Amino acid sequence: MTARLRRSAVPLLRPLVGGGARLRWTHLILGGALLMPYWLLGTVIVGPLAGSDTVFSGSLALQFGAFAAALPIAAASALFPLARPLSVAAARAMCGLPEGWLADGPARSRAARVRTAGWFTLHVGLGGIISGMSLALPPFAVALLVLPLSPALRENRLGMPRVFRHDLALTLAPLGGILSLVALAACAAVAGALLARLAPVLLGPTPSDRLAAAERRAADLAVRNRLARELHDSVGHALSAVTLQAGAARRILDSDDPGDMEFVREALTAIEETTRRTVGELDSVLGLLRRDDEPGTDEEAAVGAPSGPTLDALEGLLAHCGVRVAPTVDGGMTAVPERVSREAYRIVQEGLSNALRHGGASPVTLRIALSEEMLEITMDNPLPGTRPAAGPVVPSVVRPGGGRGLRGVTERATLLGGHAEAGRHGQSWRLAVTLPLASEGGAR
């Protein structure tokens, strides 16, 4: 019977004295402790108005008046931005709230500061009440529990009410003590549950907080996309070129009559130059990644930070790209803004990679035209089945998981305010990109 009663009582007592209830009770006691400086200041304000000679007067009117005066002072102090992270840390640790329910960081907007002030006032107000009850009710309950056994208490020597001298009152006094403790636990549980319910409302992210978080996520995504494009264009092009050149050299060496050893020498030279250049570009991209991971790095600056080769390095790229290129450059490339020049280099590099993957060693025609406002890039290579048969037979290179190159070209052009088009043009495949020189991105 005793075990059965114990099992039935545990679910009833858990909301009052369980682990979560004890944490919330501690949170309320913390609120009462935070209220004390404001309450002392309130007694200084209310004391002279009540005609009290001392701020520690035992007058209940003075105590409650000081409590009422302390709450507005507490609300005003919670308007500072740093009040929210302190309140969030305490509420998250002691109210059992999930990570995403409460806002992170100081309260920047007016609405966030007002909400934080409301939460702080409610916390210290309820905490002050529960703290006062926690100080007063346990001794009173203990006195009621021992009242039948204490003649001194029954004789009113310690200030007990005269009603407890009666026999019925003495019999029911222990029950009253137990009920007092239960009432204290119930009040603390209700106040803690109220704070836990209102915490997401008052300490949760405001619309401005959500907008700031969305902007941070967008900046992080922009950095990730840029790094992905840099790695795709640099490493992807290098692997395509190296695979193509190595395959062509192997086929000549494996043939019964290796007749073009000069081509093998050129292929090995191209592999060496391509890998050396790519290692340098990879170091540059990894350096950008490490800079993005450093605390305090400006995300916007990281997105547009200069890195990678420009059109000044185009000659080396064309000389060792693994495909014959007929370039035509109209205008001086030194007049191209640095960021536009970097993006244009990557676009040409990706166009050559696509030609290698899908057209093998087919010759590519490249035209770069610079006007006062635009940089135009046009690349043509024969479609499979239409290329001339002269020269060593080199198969095209198709990488599993590819297909992101043209999307990366489009993203690069769009970020600069330009546009890119790719598709069949007669017997050739054409990539046409237009980049404005005076765009916001190009001015960097």
Give the pLDDT band of residue 160 (cuts 50, 70, 90): low
pLDDT of residue 258: 58
For 136-140, 363-367, 435-439, which range has the lowest pLDDT when averaged over its residues?
435-439
The yes-or-no verdict on residue 42 having pLDDT over 90 is no
pLDDT over 80 (residue 437): yes
**Domain residue limits, the chain:** 2-205, 210-436
DSSP state letters, 277-332: HHHHHHHHHHHHHHHHHSTT--HHHHHT---S--GGGHHHHHHTSSS-EEEEEES-
Among 127-141, 176-190, 215-229, 393-407, where is mean pLDDT lowest? 393-407
Identify which has the larger pLDDT, 212 or 288. 212
Q: pTM, whole model, 2 decimals?
A: 0.55
**Stretch 109-132: mean pLDDT, rounded?**
92
Above 50 in pLDDT, residue 286?
yes
Provide DSSP, 195-249: HHHHHHHHHSPPHHHHHHHHHHHHHHHHHHHHHHHHHHHHHHHHHHHHHHHHHHH
Name, of 20-24, 207-211, 312-316, the range with top average pLDDT. Answer: 20-24
Q: Name the residue with higher pLDDT: 60 or 202.
A: 202
Please give the Cα distance from 442 to 314 (Å, whole number): 19
- pLDDT tens readout for residues 368-392: 998 888 899 999 888 765 544 444 4
Listed residue (309, 290, 103) closest to 206, CA to CA = 103
Among 36-40, 151-155, 158-162, 403-407, where is mean pLDDT lowest? 158-162
- Homologous superfamily, domain 210-436: Histidine kinase-like ATPase, C-terminal domain (3.30.565.10)
pLDDT for the residue numbered 174: 84
pLDDT value for 8: 53
pLDDT in tens, 52-109: 555 555 577 778 888 999 999 999 999 998 899 999 988 888 887 777 788 888 888 8
Average pLDDT taken over every residue of the chain:
77
Q: What is the pLDDT of residue 122?
A: 94
Amino acid 360: pLDDT: 60
What pLDDT is stored for residue 65 in this prediction? 85
Sheet with 419-425, edge to edge strand ranges: 325-330, 364-370, 374-382, 428-436, 419-425
Q: Give the three-state DSSP class for 417.
A: coil
Partnered with residue 443 across adjacent β-strands are none
Q: What value does the mean pLDDT take over residues 180-194?
A: 91
Task: Determine the pLDDT at residue 330.
Answer: 84
Q: Are 399 and 239 in contact (CB under 8 A)?
A: yes
**Which range has the worst mean pLDDT, 8-17, 237-246, 430-439?**
8-17
Mean pLDDT, range 235-242, rounded to an integer = 71
Strands 364-370 and 325-330: parallel
Q: Answer whether 77's CB lies under 8 Å from 123's CB.
A: no
Averaged pLDDT, 4-28: 71
Q: Of 265, 271, 221, whose CA–CA distance to 246 is shortest?
A: 271
Report the alpha-carbon distance of residue 41 to residue 35 in Å, rounded.
10
438 or 417, greater pLDDT: 417
Model pLDDT for residues 246-272, shown as the tens digit of each residue: 777 777 777 765 556 777 777 777 777
